[in-house]
């Protein structure tokens, strides 16, 4: 039976500002990318998200980002390699403390937003992220876009490189994400998204924005928790995959 991981970005509320319905998302996913306080999330939100993940038997991952609360981590930060590595290591330490207090552990790392997209091609920042993960000392797997420079550097450093696909995002024919600046970057049709993810899990391909079929090797599927209809979308994707004979389980 084929299997695949479903992950979601969670723990991104901040004070009175609420983002997504994490507890509801946890009924559909197998892995949780928990914000670490630099792009989103406050200590109490992060701690509660860790408790909810442990209670739901969902694997905890560190969703590290640029230090950019105002921009939700979606802006490139032109920092030095040392500063970025220190920032990532700081986030890992903070989340690990809160995860352990809830009876859990960080099992993998998934960069967020601009950091995620930057280290697809940015050699210096990619190396800084991998250096920080190695310095953390537990050789955590790294979850990123297929073909990323950071995935190559992870493998070179002896870390497990895990490729993922995005359920609710459109892809270019080259296999990169359509920019959020474009009107058609985010997908909202649960049936179309589900069919695309079944194709991914069973055939290793998806349909790009221009209608072409592209190869997409992925061990995990991301279901964003902050988009409209996210909970229903997650349920539809999980149900569709299971009905197609695909087992849902964490890669970590």
* The model scores a pTM over 0.85: yes
Residues in the chain with pLDDT values less than 70: none
Please give the Cα distance from 10 to 112 (Å, whole number).
Answer: 11
74's tokens: 């979606």
Nearest to 115 by CA among 139, 141, 79, 147: 79
What pLDDT is attached to residue 85? 98
What pLDDT is attached to residue 105? 98
What pLDDT is attached to residue 26? 97
What pLDDT is attached to residue 238? 97
Task: List, in sequence order, every beta strand (DSSP E) within the chain.
Answer: 3-10, 31-35, 59-63, 106-109, 142-144, 161-166, 205-207, 213-215, 220-222, 247-248
Nearest to 76 by CA among 42, 37, 119: 119
What pLDDT is attached to residue 180? 84
Residue 35 CA from chain centroid, whole number: 10
Q: Distance of CA 1 to CAs 125, 238, 244, 245, 246, Å? A: 38, 15, 10, 7, 6
45's tokens: 């939100």
Residues 6+ apart with CB under 8 A from 81: 124, 125, 127, 128, 131
């Amino acid at each position: 039976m084929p299997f695949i991981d479903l992950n979601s970005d969670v723990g991104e509320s901040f004070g009175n500002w609420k983002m997504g319905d994490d507890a509801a998302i946890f009924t559909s996913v197998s892995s949780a990318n928990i914000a670490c306080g630099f792009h989103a999330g406050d200590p109490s939100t992060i701690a509660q998200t860790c408790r909810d993940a442990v209670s739901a038997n969902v694997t905890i991952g560190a969703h590290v980002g640029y230090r950019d609360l105002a921009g939700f981590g979606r802006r490139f930060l032109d920092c030095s390699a040392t500063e970025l590595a220190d920032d990532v290591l700081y986030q890992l330490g903070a989340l690990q403390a809160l995860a352990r207090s809830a009876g859990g552990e960080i099992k993998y790392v998934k960069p967020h937003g601009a950091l995620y997209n930057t280290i697809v091609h940015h050699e210096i920042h990619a190396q800084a992220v991998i250096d920080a993960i190695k310095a953390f000392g537990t050789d955590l797997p790294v979850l990123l876009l297929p073909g990323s420079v950071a995935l190559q550097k992870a493998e070179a450093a002896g870390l497990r490189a895990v490729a993922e696909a995005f359920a609710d995002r459109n892809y270019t024919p080259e296999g990169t994400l359509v920019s959020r600046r474009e009107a058609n970057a985010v997908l909202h049709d649960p049936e179309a998204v589900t069919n695309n993810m079944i194709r991914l899990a069973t055939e290793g391909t998806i349909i790009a924005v221009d209608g072409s079929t592209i190869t997409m090797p992925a061990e995990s599927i991301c279901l964003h928790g902050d988009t409209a209809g996210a909970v229903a979308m997650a349920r539809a994707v999980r149900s569709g995959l299971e009905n197609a004979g695909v087992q849902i389980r964490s890669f970590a």
